[in-house]
Structure 1
Amino acid sequence: MDLIIHYLFLNQLQKWGAYYAYGQHDAICFSPLGIEDASEDFLFKKSYAVLNEVQHLILKYQGTGKMGAVLKEGNEQSAELILGDYKLKVIYEKPEEPCFGTIIQTGEEEFTVIGMNLKIFFESTKKGEIGHIGQIWEGRYEKEQWIPTRLMNGDESWHNAVLRVFGRTFESLADLTNEEKLKGNPNAYSTETKKVITTPGVYKVVTYKR
C-alpha cells in the first residue's frame, strides 16, 4: 500500500516534478501526466534536456543520501534540506514562475545544483562553525564532462553569501497571450514576438566552514 501511495503522490507532481522525484525520492523513472499536451512547451523540453545532461550524476548518487530536491507548490515560499554538514535554506525567488531544483553533494565541500528561480543559503550544522560559499560556477555537462562557463560573484551571489539559481535564458518566438495583449503590449497585434524564457541551469558550489 505504501508503494501505491508513493507512486500516486509522485505521479501527480507538476510537469517538471521529475527533479523532485529523482532528487528527493531516488525515483528510478518518472512519467508526468498529460505529457502529450506538453510537446510544444519550451520550458518542459529544456527541463528534461538538462536532466539528460546530468543523468550520470543522478545515477551515481542515487540512494546515497547525498541528493535532495525542492519544488514550489501552492503558496510555499521556502524549504530546507540537510546534506552532509550543511543545512540548505532555499527561498523561492519568483513565486509566479516555476521554482524547482535537485541538489547533489558531490564532495565534502562541493555541491552541484540543477534548477531555476532559487536562492540557496549554506549553513553549517556543526556547533561553533559557520558555513561559507567559496566559489560558484555556472556551466554545463557535455558527455559527462563539466564545462564551466561563468564565475558568479559580486551582485550575482551577494558577494558569495548565497547561491542564486537563475537558470538559463533563451529568446523564443511565441504567440502573445490574451493577458499580455490586455496589458497594452506594443506587439499586441503582431502574430509573434520574442520572449525571454528561463529554463533550468547547472551550478557548482564550493563551500567551507570556519
Structure 2
Amino acid sequence: MAAEDQSEQEEPAEAEVDDAVAKLFGEWEVTGIQFSDPSTERYITITPVAHTMGRHASKQFQKSEISIVERLINRLMQTDENTGKKQKTLNVTRDAFDIINERTDENPIQVLVQAVENAAPREETVRLKYGGISVPKAVDVAPQRRVDQALKFIAEGVHGASFKTSTDVEEALASQLIGAANDDVNTYAVSQKEEKERVAAAAR
C-alpha cells in the first residue's frame, strides 16, 4: 500500500513538469518537430521565443541560432510599409498559425518547417567572366543560404498576395505556408525555387 501511495504522489509532479514546458505563443509545442531534409536541419532552430530583442544582430551568422518563426517574422517586416512593425507582425503570425491549425489539424511549426524545406533551392547560377564574356554557371547552394532563400520567397509571396488586395495578410501567410508544405508548385515560394533550379539545370 505504501508503494502505491508513493506512485500516486509522483504522478501529479510529472504532470506539473509537462505543463511547465514553454510553448510558442503559449499554445504550440516546440518539441517533436520532424525534419525531412538533413542538410538544413542544423539551420532551422525551433524555440518557444518569438522575439529575442535583436540580441544576435551584431554577430555574424548567428541568425541560424534564432527561432525559424522569428526569422520569418523579421522577413515579413522587410518591406517599405511594414518596417519595424514587429508587434503587428507577431500578431499576424499568431493568427496565421491558428488558421493553419484549423485547416490542417497539424502543429503550425511543423507546417512552417516543411514549407521552408520545400521552398529551399538546391541549385542556383552565378556569373563568371571569361575575358569580356559573362557566362552563367550552376552551383550548389549552401544549406544556410537555402533557408535564407526559402524565407525570402515565402515573405515575397505573402506580400504579393496581400498588398493592395482583398486578401488579409494572415490568410495569405497561412495559404503560402500550407501550399509550400504540400510542395504545391502554384505557391509562389515553390514556383520560385523551381525556377531557380530550372535555370541552374540549363546552365550546367
Q: TM-score, normalised on structure 2?
A: 0.29
Q: Which has the higher helix share?
A: 2
Q: Which has the higher strand share?
A: 1
